[in-house]
Amino acid sequence: MNRRVRVRFAPSPTGALHIGGVRTALYNYLFAKHHGGDFILRIEDTDSQRFVPGAEDYIMESLKWCGIKIDEGVAEGGPHAPYRQSERRAIYLKYAEQLVASGNAYYAFDSAETLDNMRKEAEANGQTFAYNYQVRNQLETSLKLSDSEVKERIARGDQWVIRFKMPENENVEMDDIIRGHITINTSTLDDKVLYKSADALPTYHLANIVDDHLMEISHVIRGEEWLPSLPLHYLLYRSLGWSDSQPEFAHLPLLLKPQGQGKLSKRDGDKFGFPVFPLFWTAPDGSTAIGYREEGYFPEAFINMLALLGWNPGTEQEIFSMQELIDIFSLEKVSKSGARFNHEKAKWFNAQYLRHKSDQELGAMLLPLLAKAGINTTAERANKAVSLIKERATFPAELVDLTNYMFVAPTSYDEKSVNKFWKPENVENLKLMAKEIEKCAKIDEKETETAIHEWIVANSLSMGQLMNTLRIAIIGISQGPSIFAICEFIGKDETLKRINKAIETIG
RNA sequence: GGUCGAUUCGUCUAACGGUUAGGACGAGAGAUUCUCAAUCUCUAAAUAGGAGUUCGAUUCUCCUAUCGACUACCA
């Protein structure tokens, strides 16, 4: 069948979107755009208990920051609006009832307490309680009760749910684009709740299938945690008579905690020393978590890093733009096993992207940072300063520390460097060098360096010792880019001033 | 416990059933340099274990182990 590719990212607004969720969204997006299809954002807020205000906006802002463009969604609208399940509540009941009518589902009136007790009892006996074919006939369901009794209880206002009537013993044959063929026998599955009268909302399973069908979703790309419910979903499509238009499935490997065990979870926060969220997040209880954006990650670097966590094109290329990712992405190349996130590699990606930015871009980032530090300069000067140090930085915030000595003279001198190089004979020679520098009309990185170098050789002095002494005088520490580049940048007068000041200060 | 899934250097990963098992991050060494980075070169580092199929298994099958997911009127 040659149908239009339509995928959806369907998070529930129960908190911030963590990087595993962002990656799921990214793979959906890449797949859709690779095939010229649509990327849809659907909000699955059928759990009124766990709804978190602000989460939905957070999700949309995150996707926007990442450069993932939504074709249809809660904010964008679209032919299948609304895209928020709580606003679609009128749609679902009729499908649940249809399933009851066709004998694939039934009403159940058991109270939460009853089920809880049964669960506890089973546990006490070392067994696991499952609401399935073995027990459903003994419980308060429309399978046992007469039609009139059922109608009466519903009319009376009793709370009820509709459960799927899982076939007793049937092998469900499923195909997953990433995992291949999977078979599961229904005897191991239970009768899941599809709809609950308490809040007049469907559960995930029903809402998901109904909306995917109605929204003409062609491929469901989601996390591996959904694999166990895939047979239910297959059966739901069949029971609703939608098998022919059922989407294809791809279950993504999980993102694991950096150490220890388990999948990365929202609650991990920043306890590992790196963000698990794309953006800064303030939870309803007031707790906060750092985000990649605020840590100084570029969205392109973040996306590049995430794309390669569980997917690989099979070549040795590592740096990809969004468009390149779209061009070569394929689900077949997604790996099957979970990936542990590596913070060092993430930083490496960011450093790569930082150095490939233009001096103008980085200069524009530096300017306000300098201003904050009380340094005012021109865009031109900032651009030039940044060009000298950009391959030494990982994050834009580091740009200030790396360039501030180009704008202000050092106020202190690094002790270690001073002990190593600031020796009496070096200081004497530095004074002589200052005289040489004075002879130059102006300081030019190449010309002055050549001149000073020749002067050092002619006087049989040590290049290493003298250059570092000069470096301490100019920037206060034996680090940083070419010292003559810095001298050229600050100019002849400032260079001489700093030399004198250092001699006065250090002695 | 049950069901399902996964398993290649520390980490992310590559390898039509035939490679000295490749790359990247990180680590170590060297080169370069006025210093520190960067850069370049080099080094160490892996097919979970056991059977089987095959002329030949990282690759296919089975068993074991380990890890993970799921097992809610949550998604």
Q: Quick: pLDDT tens for A358-404.
A: 999 999 999 999 999 999 999 999 999 999 999 999 999 999 999 99
CA distance A182 to A232: 13
Q: Which stretches of A363-460 are assigned E, i.e. beta strand?
A: none
Q: Which nucleotide minimizes the distance between its C1' and the CA of A318?
A: B24
Give the containing element (helix H, strand E) for A41.
strand A38-41
Beta carbons of A392 and A402 less than 8 angstroms apart: yes
CA distance A186 to A166: 7
Q: 3-state class of A158 per DSSP?
A: coil
CA of A118 to C1' of B1 (A): 17
Least-confidence region, from A110-124, A146-160, A362-376: A110-124
The first and second tokens of residue A155, run together, are 């009319």
The answer as to CATH 1.10.8 being correct for domain A357-408 is yes
- What is the signed CA dihedral for A196, A200, A206, A211, rounded to 10 degrees? -170
pLDDT of A256: 83
Where does A1-74+254-355 sit in CATH, by number?
A: 3.40.50.620
> Exposed, middle or buried: residue A495 (CB in 10 Å: 0-12, 13-18, 19+)?
buried
Answer whether residue A269 shows pLDDT above 60: no
| Protein-to-nucleotide distance from the CA of A483 to the C1' of B35, whole angstroms | 9
Q: Tell me the C-alpha to C-alpha distance, in Å, between residue A74 and each of A44, A78, A93, A286, A491.
A: 11, 9, 22, 26, 57
> What is the complex's ipTM, to 2 decimals?
0.95
Q: Distance in angstroms, CA of A261 to C1' of B11?
A: 15
Calpha distance A156→A143 (Å, rounded): 19
Residue-averaged pLDDT of chain A = 93
* pLDDT surpassing 90 at residue A121: no
Please state whether strand B lies within 7 Å of residue A261 at its CB atom.
yes
CB within 7 A of strand B (chain A, 116-145): 119, 128-131
pLDDT above 90 for A303:
yes
> CA angle A160-A164-A169, nearest 5°?
140
> Which nucleotide C1' is nearest A180 CA?
B5
> What does the pLDDT read at residue A260?
58
Pairing of strands A219-223, A171-176: unpaired
Overall average pLDDT of the A431-460 stretch: 90
Stated in angstroms, how far is A390 CA from B39 C1'?
14
Quick one: pLDDT at residue A259?
A: 65
Residue A297: predicted pLDDT: 97
Rounded CA-CA distance A351/A397 in Å is 12
- Express as a percent the part of chain A with pLDDT over 90: 80
Strands A255-256 and A339-340: parallel
Which residues on adjacent β-strands are paired with residue A173? A183
Residue A261 has pLDDT above 70, yes or no: no
- Which amino acid makes up residue A270? D
List A184's β-bridge partners, or say none.
Answer: A172
Kindly determine whether the C-beta of residue A332 is less than 7 Å away from any atom of nucleic acid strand B: no
The label of the residue with tokens 């930082």 reads: A354
Q: Is the pLDDT of residue A41 over 90?
A: yes
Clarify whether A266 is annotated catalytic.
yes
Q: What is the pLDDT of residue A271?
A: 66
Q: What nucleotide is nearest A14 when CA is compared to C1'?
A: B75
Between 2.40.30.10, 3.90.800.10, 2.40.50.100, 3.40.50.300, what CATH number should domain A89-201 receive?
A: 3.90.800.10
Q: Are A164 and A191 in contact (CB under 8 A)?
A: yes
Report if CB A86 to strand B is under 7 Å.
no
> How do the domains of chain A map onto residue ranges?
1-74+254-355, 89-201, 357-408, 410-507
Q: Protein A323 CA to nucleic acid B40 C1', in Å?
A: 31
> Which residue gives the smallest C-alpha to C1' distance to B73?
A196
Q: Which among A355, A346, A343 has a CA at the least distance from the CA of A396?
A: A355
| Whole-number pLDDT of residue A45 | 94
Task: For residues A452 and A455, give the distance between their C-alpha atoms in angstroms, rounded to a whole number.
Answer: 5
**Is the pLDDT higher at A99 or at A119?**
A99
Q: Which CATH number fits domain A410-507: 3.50.50.60, 1.10.260.40, 2.120.10.30, 1.10.10.350?
A: 1.10.10.350
C1'-nearest nucleotide to the CA of A206:
B75
Residue A502 phi, psi dihedral angles, 5° rounding: -65, -40
pLDDT score, position A1: 53
A468 strand B contact, CB < 7 Å: yes
- Strands, sheet with A171-176, edge to edge from the N-terminal-most edge strand: A38-41, A6-9, A219-223, A248-252, A171-176, A180-185
Protein-contacted bases of chain B (C-beta within 7 A):
1-8, 10-15, 22-26, 34-38, 67-75
Tell me the one-letter amino acid at A46: T
Please tell me whether any atom of strand B lies within 7 Å of the Cβ of A304.
no
Band of pLDDT at residue A270, cut at 50, 70 and 90: low
d(CA A318, CA A18): 23
**Confidence (pTM):** 0.94
Q: Is the CB of A151 under 7 A from strand B?
A: no
- Cα–Cα distances (Å) from A146 to A86, A138, A142, A247, A450, in that order, read 32, 14, 7, 37, 102
Q: In angstroms, what CA-CA distances link A23 with A14, A18, A175, A336, A339?
A: 18, 9, 22, 15, 12
What b/e string do you get for A397-408 counting C-beta neighbours within 10 Å, with b at 16 or more?
ebbbebbbbbbe
The candidate with the shortest Cα–Cα distance to A487, out of A500, A470, A466, is A470
- pLDDT confidence tier of residue A428, bands split at 50, 70 and 90: very high
- CA-to-C1' span, A417 to B48 (A): 51
Residue A17 near residue A23, CB atoms below 8 Å: no
Catalytic residue among A196, A266, A357, A420: A266
Q: What angle do CA A474, A479, A481 make, to 5 degrees?
A: 80
CB neighbours of residue A455 within 10 Å: 17
Facing residues of A77 across strands? A73
